[in-house]
Amino acid sequence: MSTEKEAVFIQKATVYDLQKILEKDPNKTYTVDEIIALLDAYISGIQQ
């Protein structure tokens, strides 16, 4: 079981990962559906 400090670290790392994915193409505009698909793919990848 993770401590609160570990949970915060994991949350920050997740946000950082997603930020880096979105920054790969800074001129792209994402739709809500594209962002949801991106989040789903990220979550699925983490679970493997």
| pLDDT tens for each residue of 1-48 | 569 999 999 999 999 999 999 999 999 999 999 999 999 998 888 765
Are 10 and 2 within 8 A, CB to CB?
A: yes
Please tell me the predicted confidence (pLDDT) of residue 37: 93
Please tell me the predicted confidence (pLDDT) of residue 1: 55
Phi then psi dihedrals of residue 12, to 5 deg: -65, -40
Please tell me the predicted confidence (pLDDT) of residue 30: 93
